[in-house]
Structure 1
Amino acid sequence: MKYKISYRNKRILYSYLDNSFIRFMENIKNYQQEKIDFVLARDAIDMYHICQDIGNIMYILNEDKETLFKYRNYIAQIYYKRFEFNSDNDNILEGERYNAGDSINGYVAANMLFSAIISKDFRLARKCSNILYNLSDYDKRPCGQPYDFISYILKAWLNDDTALLVKNIEKLKKFRAQKTCKMLFRYIIDIILAINEKNENELNRQLEELSKSYKRMVSHFSDEEKYFNRDAVALAIMAKKMGMNVTINTPVIPAELLDITEIHYESLEKIDFSISKEDFNTLCSLKIERMIKEAHTNIKIIKKHLEEDEENREFHIELINNQKNKIQSAKILEETKKDILKNWDNIGYLQAINKIDKWFLFGQNK
């Protein structure tokens, strides 16, 4: 069960996907080490967005849930390294080298756990939960509520920690009672409370209610986040993992994402992220095809406007020329691709990516 996606939104999503994949290929090797440094810990948020875009968009456009799960797993692994860096170097808080509240708060912790859970790697989820620390130290790590409480509740569920659970359920209830608690948080909190009380009817009712209201509540979200809700999907998986009967199947919370068969992924250090000659050819060919198709479509639209608005003829002619330049740019990419493929054995995949990245990154020859 999916939302229909307009042609315009498909174009936007493909642009995000192109950009994110290239940036992923250029940066992932930095995280393929046992320990990361200060710069990588600081920049991990960028890799989160890159992985989120790839996984979400491949699912939204191609119904590829396996890629969604895989890239969610990468998110969890990268964030684990980030938490590990901070826990090993907690003195950075005193030195104020960067804002710890932006680096290791409740939202980040919940994102790490939700991502591991969505990927069905519950072993990784437990590992991630056990590196959480000081999420309620608001002087040093502000802006986490209510995700700091949610993160500890997830930790309690994953590790059968009753004391931790009771403490944070009470904190979450108090947060829910505040007038400032946003509607989306109210739904998420009510879902958590229903799971905690083993109330299947209330759980499924709240999941349905969130689904009905979701698009209205997230009008300010980026396009690729509007099609399903990360929090609700992860919580529904947890509910099933805890033995509850979850009946939800909506575009916001698709049943096909809620399987609880555990998947164990390799650690980032062991994964070969290089791109093959064949995959590189496909990557470039699809980009070229989309560039040309979009340009021709735009030219047709502009010509129609030109017929209706002769007074602005020069403006429309300029727009048409811009689209013709895009077609020419696609032809240059085609020649660049052919040249790279001829010399593939002498060019590393990163060098190949660097030669074509200007056609994929935002604001570049598109």
Structure 2
Amino acid sequence: MRSKRIVILTEGHTNPITAKTAWAVLRYRGGDVVALFDTTQAGKTAGELMNVGGDIPIIGSLDEVAEPDALLIGIAPMGGKLPTEWKSIIVSAIERGMTIISGLHDFLSNDKDLVAAAEQHGVELVDIRKNNERDVSNRLDLREDCLRIHTVGHDCSIGKMVTSVELTNELKRQGQDAKFVATGQTGIMIEGDGCPVDCVVSDFVNGSIEKQILANQHHDILVIEGQASLAHPRYSAVTAGLLHGCLPHGMILVFEAGRKTVSGMPHIPLTPLPKLIQAYENLAALHMPSKVIGLAMNGRLLTPEQAEDERKRVQDETGLVVCDVFRDGSEPLAAAVMNLRAEIFGTPVAS
């Protein structure tokens, strides 16, 4: 994503949950964002409503921003549908010469009205999820001493991407040659490369992530973003394909403290963490040994005191390191990664 003066469209959805794409771009590429567009919240700031972004303004008209160069669709709704009422806003941005960037399943390039407007004004429509992946997995030429760490989930929309980015940044801070491998639209927007695996034909999911591994294994450590969950009745297929495609040496399980039921399916309880850990390890072991080396806790629903009690409880229950990457930092997970690297490759771990 090359744009440097981005307006993020969150019309009617300016909150960290519905507009999680906006939230992540604000957190990790906030310097490129000049405004959020939401006529229902105009005059407020990103910091007030999104808890990130500080004084970045929320505007109700594109005329309020000087020379914006891109409009980014900031929501990731279930099913990936573009709200119909947003089309007029997008057309207005096109008429101003702005690139339109979307990570939705509804491709901008399939909308004849938007395509016609873009052609008229010489504007690019960027569909992050659109791909031509047609490679199967071959299990050839994998670098033996490149450590692969995969974040896996207790459920959907739980923090796998954030954990992956925070862990990668911490490893880099410690001087490690680490690379975040994005597998979803928001991660791709942040990192600038990757593969939108939930929009890859199922036969090619394993091969698509293997291609990302091969392209990036000149780095010493790869942190591969997870998608969905093995325990989610709707989306487990992409989770399994990612797991077998990236062949992780180790996994970090991400969970949300206080969440009780499956995302989008409140009639189905979440799988207990110990049972899910065993499932991930058993499925991974069909192709190579792998183990969960730690858990990342999303503690947004809890007070700091409640979160610390839950962190200790899960740590005692699983016997693994548990941390909230926001409240605790990601150093404990980075330490678990380096310990695994030393265990597998004999690489000395700095004190």
> So what's the TM-score if we normalise by structure 1?
0.25
Higher relative contact order (CA 8 A, sep 6+): 1
Which protein has the bigger strand share? 2
> So what's the TM-score if we normalise by structure 2?
0.26
Greater C-alpha radius of gyration: 1
